[in-house]
Structure 1
Amino acid sequence: MQSFAIIGAGLAGATACRSLRDQGFEGKIFLFGDEPYEPYDRPSLSKSALATKSAPPLLMGCNWSEEFRVEKCLGVRVETIDLPSMRIEVSSGSDLKFDKLLFATGSRARSLRLDAHSETPGLYSLRTLDDCVALQGAISPGAQVIIIGGGLIGCELATTIQKMGAKAIILETANELLLRVLGKTIGSWCREELEAIGVEVHTGVSITHVDLDPSFREVRCGDGRRFSGDLAIVSVGAEPVTALAEHAGLACARGIIVNSVGMASSDTVYAAGDVASWPLRSGGRRSLETYLNSQNQAAVAAGAMLGKGEPAPQVPISWTEIAGHRIQMMGEVTGPGDVVTRVDPGGTGMTVCRLNGGELQSVVSINQPADFSFASKIIERRMQVDAKSIRDPLIRMKDVFKLAAKTVA
């Protein structure tokens, strides 16, 4: 009987367990997780779990491990992996022989580095349930919270902190929020909406020093400005957890390098989720750090572990909630071509698209779920569309899709 080991008990790891059984695997499945918790919903940590000071929702049912016959090893750290002997050693001192191995170790919060050689300790971050619990206890009504970083997590945190009756101050090094993931148009819109709910936003900030006095935090900037608060949260991105894979001799470059079915540089090892540097349909590869892509990659990799792999180059797809608005995105926001903005006549939101050679290659929608639904179908099917139709809000995106489909037919 074969034994499959999965390292990482988050979304990708749990999805892979279920997918292996759904695809007919009858062998043993061992799931290892550093955290002592059942697989939980990580996106809620910056939203409902923090705001309500509650536990995040679980990803699987109460008896999921019995249903899918998974031997859970939670709160257990994998120490080493010996690929030639196909054996792993865990923190308890025991070891396990495997036939196939899936890395689903995710990513960790990137630390703030004020020089090339040292990290800045004593600051909060948000990546795990323990991080969330620490922030739940630290943020109280009236508190002033400095958020270093104006990306997705930073903006989500600012929204939640305002809901908790505290004051959020965002310090972002770029000249606009969310540039990398949403682009300048949406980033500017989100900044205005955050400011409307009381968030203080500063862009173009170069941080040079953080005061680590335990009773308060003061952040100093290169232009002489100082920002003080009761606590500071570092939200400057994430980095894939690849140390185990690197020590095992696997090829890594900002993630474990895998092919389009999730196979790493060893044919018995696979990776999915944030830790995987997965090929993109648009070319190149990277760690995508999205919920939906992690689910998709885990299912594809599970199939490949069973010899059923179908190549699945990824198209980034995600969503977020900022300042009370639902934002959905698909494709690479930055790239060649023209940016077309579609503004809702009722003033409730907008959709921003990137077209290249008549092909819709990315879409970001604010409060426009119907527009996003049909635009994402157009992207998936690589259809040709007319920029004027995309820009005109009186032409339903559904009709744009239908016309594109007729043209293909």
Structure 2
Amino acid sequence: MAGIVVIGAGQAGASLVARLRMKGYAGAITLIGAEGVPPYQRPPLSKGYLLGDLSAERLFLRPESFYADQGIVLRMGAVVDGIDPARQEVSLDGAALPYDQLALTTGARPRRLPAAIGGDLAGVHVLRGLADVDAMAPEVAPGRRVVIVGGGYIGLEAAAVAAKRGLDVTVVELAPRILQRVAAAETSDYMRALHIAHGVRVLEGVGLERLSGEGHVTGARLSDGRELPADFVIVGVGVMPDTALAGDAGLYLDNGIATDAQGRTSDPRIWAAGDCASFPSHGGRLRLESVQNAIDQAELVADNMLDGARDYAPVPWFWSDQYDLKLQIAGLNTGYDRVVVRDAPGARSHWYFKGDGLLAVDAMNDPRAYMVGKRLLEAGRSPSAGAVADAGSDLKALLRA
């Protein structure tokens, strides 16, 4: 039999193939990755790895020997030319690889600046893969000047690392405030104050007009006329789901590779999971970019490939490490109409409500608030706003109320 082929050797792909073997699948498994290294963790790239605290080997999700021991064929540095759903074949480096079932865990690609405004200059970097960070690492030296375009989590994590390494750091955010797309003003204010306290300049409500330099970037001109000197630039303006193979194969796309609740694409023999996949949620479609989603969705797809019948209904959670702060997020705040602030010694949490219903929690150095909020969301329960705001109350009591 042709077995199962998985395209995309990131967190989702690695989780999917490991789950297949753990659940007793004995057929052939091939995991295909474009990068020349085994599957690895991405979150530490913009933190511990960029700081030099982690080696590349410590990023690997499993030793390379794991795949051979489990009878999983790991094709690293491989180029998938296309998918032929009618023939149930993947074209891999010019050769046909048949499949009984196929899973797409192709992840996402970073958005880049257009060449017309200097995005193709040397010294302009993105933060997505191991090679991106390796290319940028020599630039990260004390006293150098970096301009970071984008005040989302990736941009702010890079800013924190650069500031800790003694660089001169400026964050440029087009929106009126950093984190505007993903967090309330209260969280934006907290994170802005944190970065300013570490010497980072945070410029909000101003866009990048163009980068300057002959061959290598030397500066950034902003939409308000300001000129910023730059030894290098980091672009952190989001990612796009990698749907090229799926689209060329005729699969239905909608905010990524569209799947049903169990992970099937518009071709019942092809599945999708992770950053590239969107799934039904509350009458619409949702696509999540997180480690938790990559693992949970991939494991569900593996189960369903083996004749399971589970629907995906996650309570999302995320995290971000910046300086000595751990920001933990549970739930999705879409549609909130008020934010309740709870202060604790050395910590704070922001609780998002829509009416009386709890939607999400942002916890800054407050693991207790995060844990309680996550458990409430998983149980579909909502505490009273007054009980949340009362800093003297016992948070765990909310679980018993």
Normalising by structure 2, report the TM-score. Answer: 0.95
CA contact (8 A) 1:216 1:228 kept: no
2:332 matched to which residue of 1? 332
CA contact (8 A) 2:148 2:234 kept: yes
Task: Please state whether the residue corresponding to 1:124 is helix, strand or coil.
Answer: strand
2:374 matched to which residue of 1? 376
Task: Please state whether the residue corresponding to 1:182 is helix, strand or coil.
Answer: coil
1:222 matched to which residue of 2? 223
List runs of 5+ in structure 2 lacking aligned partners.
none
Superposed, 1:129-278 pairs within 5 Å as 129-278=130-279
2:22 matched to which residue of 1? 22
Does residue 402 in structure 1 map to residue 400 in structure 2?
Answer: yes
After TM superposition, the runs of 4+ consecutive aligned structure 1 residues lying more than 4 A away are none
Does residue 41 in structure 1 map to residue 41 in structure 2?
Answer: yes
- How far apart are residue 133 of structure 1 and its match? 0.3
Q: 1:71 to 1:150 in 2, by over 3 A?
A: same
2:120 matched to which residue of 1? 121
In 2, distance between residues paired with 1:72 and 1:259?
Answer: 28
Report the residue type matching 1:14 in the other structure.
A
After the TM superposition, which of the residue ranges 20-29 and 242-251 deviates more from structure 2?
20-29
Q: 1:397 to 1:284 in 2, by over 3 A?
A: farther
In 2, distance between residues paired with 1:196 and 1:40?
Answer: 33
1:407 matched to which residue of 2? none
After the TM superposition, which of the residue ranges 59-68 and 173-182 deviates more from structure 2?
59-68
Report the residue type matching 1:196 in the other structure.
A
In 2, distance between residues paired with 1:35 and 1:23?
Answer: 27
- How far apart are residue 215 of structure 1 and its match? 4.8
1:184-220 Cα distance to aligned partner (Å, 9 max, x none): 1111110110111111110011221111334542111
**Root mean square deviation, CA, Å:** 1.6
Q: 1:397 to 1:147 in 2, by over 3 A?
A: same
1:218-273 Cα distance to aligned partner (Å, 9 max, x none): 11122111111100111100001100000000011231011121111110111111
In 1, distance between residues paired with 2:180 and 2:115?
Answer: 22
1:160-197 Cα distance to aligned partner (Å, 9 max, x none): 11122212110000111112222211111101101111
CA contact (8 A) 2:2 2:98 kept: no
CA contact (8 A) 2:6 2:103 kept: yes
In 2, distance between residues paired with 1:202 and 1:379?
Answer: 35
1:390 matched to which residue of 2? 388
Q: 1:31 to 1:119 in 2, by over 3 A?
A: farther
CA contact (8 A) 1:245 1:256 kept: yes
Task: Please state whether the residue corresponding to 1:233 is helix, strand or coil.
Answer: strand
Task: Please state whether the residue corresponding to 1:363 is helix, strand or coil.
Answer: strand
In 2, distance between residues paired with 1:375 and 1:247?
Answer: 42
In 1, distance between residues paired with 2:258 and 2:240?
Answer: 14
Normalising by structure 1, report the TM-score. Answer: 0.93
In 2, distance between residues paired with 1:336 and 1:222?
Answer: 32
In 2, distance between residues paired with 1:170 and 1:50?
Answer: 18
1:343 matched to which residue of 2? 343
List runs of 5+ in structure 1 lacking aligned partners.
404-409
CA contact (8 A) 1:114 1:209 kept: no
In 2, distance between residues paired with 1:208 and 1:62?
Answer: 45
1:353 matched to which residue of 2? 351
In 1, distance between residues paired with 2:219 and 2:311?
Answer: 50
CA contact (8 A) 2:347 2:365 kept: yes
